[in-house]
Amino acid sequence: MKQFIGLDVSMNETAVSIRQDGKRVWRGKCPSEPRLVAALIRKRAPHAERVVFETGPLSVWFYHALTAEGVSAICIDARHAKAALDMAPNKTDANDADGLAHLAEIGFYREVRVKGFDSMLIRTLVTARRQLLKMRLQMSNQIRGLMKTFGLLVPKGAGSVFERNVRELLRDDMKLARIILPMLRAWGGIRLRVAELSKQLNGMAREDERCRLLTSVPGVGTVTATAFVAAVEDPANFRNSRAVGAWVGLTTRRFQSGEVDYDGHISRRGDNRLRSLLYEAAAVILNRSRAANTLRSWALELKERLGFKRAAVALARKLAVIMHAMLKTGELFDPQAGVRATS
């Protein structure tokens, strides 16, 4: 007498559908609180075999909280579930819960690995720092643009140099200074918060042996290393190192039908932030690094044949493969064998 449950989780309420022996036996809603959802499941479905819900903003919290309550929670790929849920004539939370319960019953779903809270904490730190960096850049550009209107051109420079240049230009224009200086103080506050988060990130990386290992790769700094460690967690999560490139979305899509067979752009699946960090690391190797190694030589040959962007994407994928292999073996980057470390 196995029972299968679908949960359509939203911010305030969660739609619940319970199936047994190929039929829906109960459907309802409860507040989106894992403890209350678990109590409802124990009451309505004491023989629950699978409890399925989609990826979303609350999925990490829901998964770990339901698991702690003894519920056999399964988080599935929302893209995979969408095709089945779109079969319903009307798009409602109740119908989505029914569809998820049906998927749980027949076993037609793709389970997603849910990250632990420690990994999500690192990811949150990287994301928060990145957002503040973006805000700092936008604020400085706004200051430059507003001052340019009055013929005050701020010279190139960042940090304290930028602040000193702005104050120097505003010395003889008090009316404009009353407008710009509050923005400059806000920019300075954001700059201090960026420094605080950067200090936390550097401290975290110094204490983690895996991050210290990955920073031996040319072009890979603290941010990229910590983001990669947080995303991969355990190297055993992937069947081989090549699978990491596809998981990050750096492999090309393929379309094949009859006589038509071609490769398209990269899939762009997975972690957008990690993919952009790997691309930035690849750009550093191609444009700035001067260290002699087989990885850079291979990338420069690609750049000559395919152009910078394609070479950078290929190198970013190669970096993901190499970094996973390093986490698996615990070995430092070998400048003479970097390209071959793709098993």
Average pLDDT over residues 135-148: 95
pLDDT average, residue stretch 115-136? 92
Hey, what are 339's tokens?
Answer: 């390209």
Q: What's the chain's length in residues? A: 343
Q: How does strand 23-31 pair with strand 48-54?
A: unpaired
pLDDT digits (tens, 9 = 90+) for 45-96: 999 999 999 999 999 999 999 999 999 999 998 888 887 888 888 889 999 9
* Paired tokens of 242: 């090549």
Q: How far is CA 254 from the centre of its chain?
A: 23
Residue 343 has pLDDT above 70, yes or no: no
Distance CA(53)–CA(232), nearest Å, equals 22
Among 95-104, 150-159, 265-274, which stretch is predicted with the lowest mean pLDDT?
265-274
Distance CA 96, CA 84 (A): 9
Q: What does DSSP assign to residue 111?
A: B
Phi-psi region of 72 (alpha: psi -120 to 50; beta: other; left: phi over 0): beta
The structural domains of the chain, with segments of one domain joined by +, span 3-106, 117-207, 211-329
What pLDDT shows up at residue 84?
80
Confidence at 190, pLDDT banded by 50, 70, 90: very high
Average pLDDT over residues 309-330: 93
Residue found under tokens 């081989």: 240
Give the span between the Cα atoms of 110 and 212, in whole angstroms: 34
Across the chain, the runs of DSSP E, i.e. the strands, are 3-9, 13-20, 23-31, 48-54, 73-76, 252-257, 260-266
Q: In angstroms, rounded to a whole number, what is the distance separating the alpha carbons of residues 64 and 342?
A: 33
- Predicted local distance difference test score (pLDDT) of residue 341: 44
In this prediction, residue 5 has a pLDDT band, given cuts at 50, 70 and 90, of very high
The three state secondary structure string of 176-234 is HHHHHHHHHHHHHHHHHHHHHHHHHHHHHHHHCHHHHHHCCCCCCCHHHHHHHHHHHCC
Residue 225: name the closest of 237, 241, 214 by CA: 214
Task: Give residues with Cβ within 8 angstroms of 144, minimum separation 6.
Answer: 154
User: What pLDDT was estimated at residue 342?
Assistant: 47
CATH 3.30.300.30 fits 3-106, yes or no: no
Q: What is the pLDDT of residues 223-268, one digit of tens each?
A: 999 999 999 999 999 988 989 988 999 888 877 777 777 777 888 8
Give the pLDDT confidence score for residue 169 in this predicted structure: 93
Q: What does the pLDDT average to over 291-318?
A: 90
pTM of the model: 0.82
- Give the pLDDT of residue 312: 93
